[in-house]
Each structure stands twice: as structure tokens, then as C-alpha cells.
Structure 1
Amino acid sequence: MRALLQPVIVRELGVVLLKPGSELMSLFGGGRVLIERQPESMANLETGRVPDARQPLGDDTALRSFFLNDKVIHAAGGISGLDYWLLRYAGGRCQYEHSDYHYHEMTVMHHEPGSILLCGYCDNLLRGQHTEALASLARQNVISWVLNSIRVALSIDNAREISLAELSWWAVRYGVTDALPESAVRNALRLPDEGKIGRESDITPSVPATSILAEKVSKVTLPEPLPKPIVGVLVDPEPPQSFMRRPKRLRWQCREYLAWVKTQPCECCHQPSDDPHHLIGWGQGGMGTKAHDIFAIPLCRKHHTELHNDRLAFERKYGSQLEMIIKVLDRAYALGVLA
């Protein structure tokens, strides 16, 4: 259970009523919910939604060089991907806490080695400044974003810590194992610590763990990465259909684009998505047909079912499908998926 619920006990009837509150009602929208005793580790948490699990790998100074490596940042989606994540999923609050005033609109300021989420006022205040405090904040943003990208890529829930083995497998999949530090690779491969040696006669020249991993990776066959951009949008200002009195409508289809949409987090809960949902209820498609593939939204199975069960209720709760499509298209162009 990923939420703390406030119980109301009716002793006369022996009934326990749970009051989850409006912000937690989505957890009870479908499927089964496990109710269990509060663990000791949550005793000091306030009533409400439990925050995502802390990721100890993000605090490991030995891994800092890995998270800040240019190849790793590129594999996670590039700086434009970081900017999108900050604006969409990083809480929506200005990260500069030393100002007494904050504007309501958010923007992103680039600062080595990444980006910082700021309000318009603080962006004007800090523009052009480069301090260690800002660099530390930008560094933490990069680390948190890379960890989030790993969770999405490996379909790991936000409530669970990422293990070193999972991080290493992500590095293998995305071809950035050479960025892993020696200590992390030794740990992942469960090699003995070089400092723990016995008799002098037992000392033999050691092979770097990174070279052992490189040899193992060379034997792994991975699918060829899709070329960038994965979809080239062609523009024909005078298509043949435009000269017909009653042109036959063509449906735009692209399996590569749908495959990319499926890799994005669910637009409702930000968990790994299961389906690319096609726009419904806005005059798109026809009898027995879908809307164009370009009008696809990443959704998890739960929210995809909820949308098809009651479109109007879904949009009142989570927002318009059109707004979601604009956000997905904006990210696709910003990341170079569409060009």
C-alpha cells in the first residue's frame, strides 16, 4: 500500500471505514488494494500519500561520475529530456528557496551540469549566475532524472529502490557500461575487494572489473537502436487527394512512433505505460477505425480502461486528451523523435 489512510472505527458495529481523501481516491479506482498494518519505518510520516522510495544509488558519491557522464545523459534522453521532466514531473515548484517572491509560471534555467526548475521571477534574478549552490542543485536534478529514466525503461515502480544490478543492466542495454566506475562494476560482478588479500604469494596481477564487464557485454546481442529521429515527417503541399472532389481520407500509421509512445510514462500517474491510447470522442477516426497514430497518448492499463469506460469522467478528473497529446508531441519534437 503506497498511502497512509486515516481510519474511522465504529466500535459498536465492529466496522472500520477508511477515509482516503480526494487526492488518494485514484488508488481505489480499479483492481485490488492491499490494506496492512503500518510498518515502523512509516511511523513518523504525515497522513497522506507516501513519497516515492528514496534511491540510495543517487547518494553514492562513487556513482556521481556515472550519472553526470555525457553519454549517460544522452542515453537517458538528453538535456531536453531533463527539461521536460523538470517541467512536467518535478513538483511544479520553484527550486530557488532563497527568494521571498515567486511567480506562478515555471521555466527551466540551464546550469552546469544540467538544469534547474525556476519561476519566471527567479529565472530573471539568477540568469547568468554560476555558483556552487546552483551547480549542486542542477547536479541533483540530473541524478534524479537519470534514475527516473532507468525506472521507466525497466518498468520499475516508483515505490521501489533501484538496485545496482538493475542500474548496470540499464547501462548494458543503452551501451554506456564504460561510464560505470570500477568500484561499482566490482560490486555488480561480486568480485572480491582488491584490498583484501592473503599471503604475498597469493598476489596476482588483477584484471580491471570494467574490462571483465566489457568482455561480457561484447557477447550480449542487443537490438539495434532506432535511428534518430525515429519518424521523419514529410510535408506534401499538393497531395493528389487535395484535387479530388470527394477525397478518400487516409489514416496516418507509424509503428515506430507508437513504440516510442509506449516507452513514455503514463500521462495520469507517471508510472510505466502499457498502451499507446488513440484519441477518442473528438471527431477522429470513424466506424471501426482509430484516430491517426500521431494522436496517441501513453497510458497504463488501469487509466486506459478508465478512459474507455467513461471518457467525460476521465477528462474531468485528469484533463483533456487534447492537452495530453500536445504535451506528448511537444516532447517528441523536443527530443528529436519527430523531425
Structure 2
Amino acid sequence: MRVILTPEIAPRLGLALFRPGSDVMALFHQGRVLIEGVPEHLQHLPSGIVPAASQPLSGDKALLAFFTNERVIQAAGGLSTLNASLLRENGCQYPQGDYHHPEMVIMPYPPSAIRVCWHCDNKLREQATELLADLAHRNVVEFVIASALRNLGFDDTHQLTLPELCWWAIRYDLVDCLPEGMARKALRKPEEPILSVYKESDIVPSLPATSIVQEKIKPVLALKADPESPESYMLKPKRRRWESAIYTRWVKQQPCECCRRPADDPHHIIGHGMGGTATKAHDLFVIPLCRECHDELHADVAAFEQKHGTQLELVFRFLDRVMAIGVIVKA
């Protein structure tokens, strides 16, 4: 919580007195508080709790394709987290209802969801209107922006900028989800008007902005094959464990392969013939896991694999994405 308060100064006593409202008193019950000057962009606000900043990116139609992308929503926490965040607030989001029940439910509206009351849920279920689509889009856009702010270390008083949103996309391997218009704005390239009729002499191919962004993302790991390694000529070669600190460091920065929250560890596959006596599997056979999912796996591997899929399925899916986005390339 951030608040703006006007002090009453008693200079001879060396005291500054504040009179917070009842909605602000909870801040002082927590113990120590930080006091700093009011920044220039907040000078116009009245005394009281600092409201959440408006987000200009939420109204940009060119970014809607990015915000509604399934992988982007999953990186932000998934639909289950979106539904939970909607239920933390009160009130039916459908503005045209003649009656609203006090109980709220979540009405799925792909690719998002809408918070409605029981009465409106029965009335609107399986309908598709422009108003419902706008509500669903607004919910998912606000959800992704809030997740990006949180993951980048900002609070809700910060206005998310387009370069910051692009950095969040790069961090979570969503560069290929960037639409052309979004990439052009991030690179400050002028918009190209699309005419209904062109002369053949007027058609000048240009490099798509999305490909420029992709080229800037360097691969983390380059592999090469050696069909004539010395061990390949041995009957019983000694096992050599393949290690790559740069790759495992990158893996732990990715979303958890199970819950999509920020990962904490690169988990090496156990069982399934991987590893050996007193050694781990190769560093290539790792998946990103948060601490909670990692502890769940080691506590009961069978229960974990029944819930999330086998480790082989998870590592295969992860390697497929890793190679598809150019993190691992041919040397």
C-alpha cells in the first residue's frame, strides 16, 4: 500500500504530525514505514491511498493478439490464476442486467473469462456478443499486464511500457508470439500503410520487424555431432556426463513446466534409465520446476507423474520448445 499524506509541522518541537484515514491506519500497524517525497507524476493526486496506474497498453488494439495468445496467458499464470484473480473482486461485470445475484461465478469466454452473478450466468451462458468479447478481452489484458508488472518487480502504480512488455516476452520465450505491429513499435519503425491496390513497381519487400527481434535473440547452446568419438569404438566405454552450466542456468529462469509459475530449479530426470550410480542425468535432460513442484516430485515420483505426466513427456515437450525457439541450435 502506498499513500499520500499532508503533514502538520511543529518546527519548535521537531515533530511532523499525520492524520491518516481509517482505510490507511492498517499501514501503520505493520511497524516501520518508508517515507519519501511525492514524485512529480503523483503531485495532482489528493491525500489518501495511491490508486493503481492507468495502463495505456491495455487499450492498444495492435497488442490484443499478443495478450490473447494461449502461450502468453499460460506464461502469466494460466486461466486458473486469472479466474482466481477475478473472484477476488466483487460485483457482476455484466452492466446490462436487470437483477444481480450476490453470489459470483466465473463464466468461461475463450480465450478469457468473465465474472458474473448466478442470474447473469444463466442468462448469458453460451452467448457470444461484442459486449461480452470486450469484457473478456479487458480481463485477460489486465491479467497479463499485472503479471508482467509483478514479474518485472513493479507495483500497480507503475505504467508498463512497450519495451518492458517486450522484455517480459523475451524472458518467458514468447518472442515468436509478438505480432508484427507490436514488434514495429518496439523497434520504433514507422507503420507501413496497406493499400487496397498496388502497382507492381511500388511493391518493395521489407524485412519483417518480428524477424529482426528474433535475430537479436542469441542461442544459449550450440551442439554438434561427433560420429567418430573415441568411446564409440569401445566395447564398454566409460560413461561421461554431459554438463553445461550456461544451459542449466537458463533453464532455471524459465516458467515451471507444471504450474507455469517462475521456476527455481533445473530438475534432472530421475529413473527411466537416466543417470547412474552416484551421478545425475546429463544436463540436457532437465526441466524447469518451481520449488513446490520440485519437492512434490522428489517426495513421490509416481504421484507426481500421475498428476503432471511422466518426466519423459515433460522433458520431451520442453526440448521441443527449446529447439523451436532457437535456444539450442546446430553448431
TM-score normalised by structure 2 residue count: 0.59
1:124-143 correspondence runs (5 A): 124-143=122-141
1:160-209, Cα deviation, whole Å (9 max, x unpaired): 111212211111122221221223223323456668xxxxxxx9853212
Structure 2 residue aligned with 1:95: 93
Per the alignment, in what secondary structure is the counterpart of residue 115 of structure 2?
Answer: strand
Structure possessing the higher radius of gyration over alpha carbons: 2
Structure 2 residue aligned with 1:20: 20
Query: CA–CA distance in 2 between the matches of 1:338 and 1:55?
Result: 38
Instruction: Identify which of 222, 227, 244 aligns with 2:257.
Output: 227
Measured after TM superposition, the shift of residue 107 of structure 1 is: 1.2
Query: CA–CA distance in 1 between the matches of 2:290 and 2:59?
Result: 35
Gapped regions of structure 2 (runs ≥ 5):
194-202, 222-249, 264-287, 297-303, 311-331
Change in CA separation of 1:260 and 1:213 when aligned onto 2, cut-off 3 Å:
farther
Per the alignment, in what secondary structure is the counterpart of residue 176 of structure 2?
Answer: helix
Change in CA separation of 1:259 and 1:165 when aligned onto 2, cut-off 3 Å:
farther
Per the alignment, in what secondary structure is the counterpart of residue 97 of structure 2?
Answer: coil
Count residues in correspondence: 235
1:157-196 correspondence runs (5 A): 157-191=155-189
Whichever residue aligns with residue 158 of structure 2, its letter is R
Change in CA separation of 1:37 and 1:150 when aligned onto 2, cut-off 3 Å:
closer
Query: CA–CA distance in 2 between the matches of 1:64 and 1:129?
Result: 21
**Residues 4 and 38 in structure 2, CA contact (< 8 A), matched pair in contact too:** no
Structure 1 residue aligned with 2:72: 72
Change in CA separation of 1:12 and 1:228 when aligned onto 2, cut-off 3 Å:
closer
Per the alignment, in what secondary structure is the counterpart of residue 114 of structure 2?
Answer: strand
Change in CA separation of 1:100 and 1:214 when aligned onto 2, cut-off 3 Å:
same
**Residues 68 and 111 in structure 2, CA contact (< 8 A), matched pair in contact too:** yes
Query: CA–CA distance in 1 between the matches of 2:204 and 2:129?
Result: 46
Per the alignment, in what secondary structure is the counterpart of residue 251 of structure 2?
Answer: coil
Structure 2 residue aligned with 1:107: 105
Change in CA separation of 1:59 and 1:223 when aligned onto 2, cut-off 3 Å:
same
1:232-272, Cα deviation, whole Å (9 max, x unpaired): xxxxxxxxxxxxxxxxxxxxxxx9553679xxxxxxxxxxx
TM-score normalised by structure 1 residue count: 0.57
Query: CA–CA distance in 1 between the matches of 2:98 and 2:143?
Result: 27
Name the stretch that deviates more: 5-14 or 219-228. Answer: 5-14
**Residues 113 and 135 in structure 1, CA contact (< 8 A), matched pair in contact too:** no
Change in CA separation of 1:30 and 1:160 when aligned onto 2, cut-off 3 Å:
farther
Determine if the alignment matches structure 1 residue 55 to structure 2 residue 85. no
1:228-247 correspondence runs (5 A): 228=258
Query: CA–CA distance in 1 between the matches of 2:133 and 2:8?
Result: 47
Whichever residue aligns with residue 124 of structure 2, its letter is L
Query: CA–CA distance in 2 between the matches of 1:9 and 1:100?
Result: 52
**Residues 229 and 338 in structure 1, CA contact (< 8 A), matched pair in contact too:** no
Aligned-residue sequence identity (percent) comes to 43
